[in-house]
């Protein structure tokens, strides 16, 4: 009975694969267009829903900086349109971040028919983990890294210099920091994927650990502002996240070994 069910399932998968292979490229493009339209609509709906709160959102983003500035200093706008464009850009970024789970779900739905059952079971947990880690990385950057970096630069400035940051420059700095940390926190997922598809083994990674640690500091040196605190606050989490991915990779390899 079990063998019959397995054969039936395999026949179904083969038929599905044949159906996908025989589907014309225009049909694939039409399906892809449908998913892309859904993504764009979701982002635009969130964008317009959040637009009335754009200034409040920017106030929240600038809170770490305003808390560090002397009472005689404030943020400035060096461009006439900056007071409108900075909250506008932040609003779009926020709408995209909130819509990301739905966007990734649409991408997953497009590729899902071409995946085998085992790949589907693995892909969904990895997708959820990658989304969660990306959000955790942004939260880490906003709550921990950003205040530390701003505090360092403001307190080392000469007494005769009054720090007044342009709102567009501050927004660009924050968004770059959020993206860098969001991607950095994907390291465990990337490490697991490399191990699962057989590109590397945990033993290979253990042997190359010292080079990977040096690489973490090298990447952090170019991805963060030019100070030791910023570099350490990115390099150390990168290293620890790599070790986390390595740990889960070892567990997966043990499960593959037959008793």
Residue 202 falls inside a structural domain: no
Q: How many CB atoms lie within 10 A of CB 222?
A: 8
Residue ranges making up the domain that contains 52: 2-185
61 CB neighbour count, 10 Å cutoff:
22
The answer to the question of residue 52 being in a domain is yes
- Please tell me the predicted confidence (pLDDT) of residue 14: 47
Q: Where are the alpha helices (DSSP H) in 73-208?
A: 82-111, 117-140, 146-155, 167-184, 187-196, 202-207
Question: How much is the pLDDT for 1?
Answer: 45
Is 205 domain-assigned? no
Write the burial class of residue 42 (CB in 10 Å: 0-12 exposed, 13-18 middle, 19+ buried): buried
Number of domains into which the chain is organized:
1
According to the model, what pLDDT value does residue 75 have?
83
Q: Classify residue 196: in a domain, yes or no.
A: no
d(C-alpha 191, C-alpha 238), whole Å: 12
pLDDT value, residue 92:
93
pLDDT by residue (tens digit) across 202-239? 888 888 889 989 999 998 888 887 778 888 888 999 99
CA separation for the pair 66, 164 (Å, rounded): 10
pLDDT value of residue 240: 92
**Mean pLDDT, contiguous 10-residue spans, the chain (259 residues):** 46 48 71 89 94 91 86 80 88 92 83 70 81 92 90 78 83 91 89 80 87 90 81 90 88 66
Q: What is the pTM of this model?
A: 0.78
Rg (CA), the chain: 23
| Residues ≥6 apart with Cβ < 8 Å to 223 | 180, 234
């Amino acid at each position: 009975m079990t063998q019959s069910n397995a054969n039936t399932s395999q026949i179904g998968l083969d038929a599905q694969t044949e159906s996908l292979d025989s589907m014309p490229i225009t049909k694939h493009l039409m399906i892809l267009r449908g998913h892309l339209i859904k993504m764009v609509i979701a982002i635009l709906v969130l964008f317009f829903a959040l637009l009335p709160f754009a200034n409040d959102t920017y106030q929240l983003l600038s809170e770490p900086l305003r808390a560090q500035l002397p009472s005689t200093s404030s943020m400035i706008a060096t461009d006439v349109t900056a007071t409108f464009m900075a909250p506008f850009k932040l609003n779009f970024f926020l709408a995209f971040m909130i819509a990301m789970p739905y966007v990734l779900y649409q991408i997953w739905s497009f590729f899902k028919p071409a995946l085998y059952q085992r790949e589907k079971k693995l892909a969904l947990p990895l997708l959820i983990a990658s989304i969660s880690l990306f959000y955790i990385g942004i939260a880490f950057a906003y709550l921990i890294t950003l205040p530390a970096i701003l505090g360092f630069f403001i307190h080392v400035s000469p007494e005769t210099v009054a720090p007044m940051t342009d709102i567009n420059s501050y927004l660009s700095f924050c968004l770059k920091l959020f993206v860098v940390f969001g991607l950095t926190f994907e390291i465990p997922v990337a490490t697991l994927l490399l191990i699962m598809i057989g590109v590397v083994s945990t033993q290979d990674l253990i042997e190359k650990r010292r080079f990977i640690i040096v690489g973490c500091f090298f990447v952090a040196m170019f991805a963060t502002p030019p100070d030791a605190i910023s570099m350490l606050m990115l390099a150390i989490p990168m290293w620890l996240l790599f070790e986390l991915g390595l740990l889960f990779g070892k567990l997966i390899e043990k499960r593959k070994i037959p008793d």
